[in-house]
Structure 1
Amino acid sequence: MLLNPLPRLGGGLLVTLLLAGCAGYQSMDAVRVDPATTGRPQTAAPESNAVAQKLWRVYNRYEGTPYRYGGTSSTGFDCSGFILTAYREGLDRTDLPRTTGQMLAEGHYVRRDQLKPGDLVFFRIGGKEQHAGIYLGGHRFIHSATSVGVTESSLANPYWRNRYSQARRFL
Structure 2
Amino acid sequence: MIQVLRLPKWMMAGFTTLALVMAFLFTPFLHKAEASISWGQEVTTVAKLYIGTPFKWGGTTSKGFDASGYTKYVFKKSAAKITLPLSSKEQYKFGKSVLKKNLKEGDLVFFKTNGRDISFVGIYLGNNKFIAATSNGVSIQSLTLKYWNDRYVGAKRVLKE
TM-score normalized with structure 2 length: 0.70
- Quote the Cα distance in structure 1 between the aligned partners of 2:104 and 2:37: 9
**Counterpart in the other structure of 2:100:** 112
Answer yes or no: is 1:80 the counterpart of 2:68.
Answer: yes
Gaps of 5+ in 1: 1-47
Answer yes or no: is 1:138 the counterpart of 2:106.
Answer: no
Residue 59 of structure 1, CA deviation: 3.0
**Counterpart in the other structure of 1:62:** 50
Q: Summarize the Cα distance change of 1:49–1:113 in structure 2 as closer, same or farther, 3 Å threshold.
A: farther
AA partner of residue 69 (structure 1):
W
Task: Give the strand-richer structure, 1 or 2.
Answer: 1
Runs of 4+ in 1 over 6 A off after TM superposition: none
- Counterpart among 103, 111, 115 of residue 123 in structure 1: 111
Q: Deviations over 1:41-80 (max 9, x none)?
A: xxxxxxx963343234323321111111111111100111
**Partner SS, residue 57 of structure 1:** helix
Gaps of 5+ in 2: 1-35
- Quote the Cα distance in structure 2 between the aligned partners of 1:89 and 1:132: 17
AA partner of residue 103 (structure 1):
Q
- Quote the Cα distance in structure 2 between the aligned partners of 1:80 and 1:70: 8
Q: Quick check: which has more Rg, 1 or 2?
A: 2
Answer yes or no: is 1:152 the counterpart of 2:140.
Answer: yes
Aligned residues: 123
CA RMSD of aligned residues (A): 1.8
**Partner SS, residue 78 of structure 2:** helix
Identity of aligned residues (%): 38
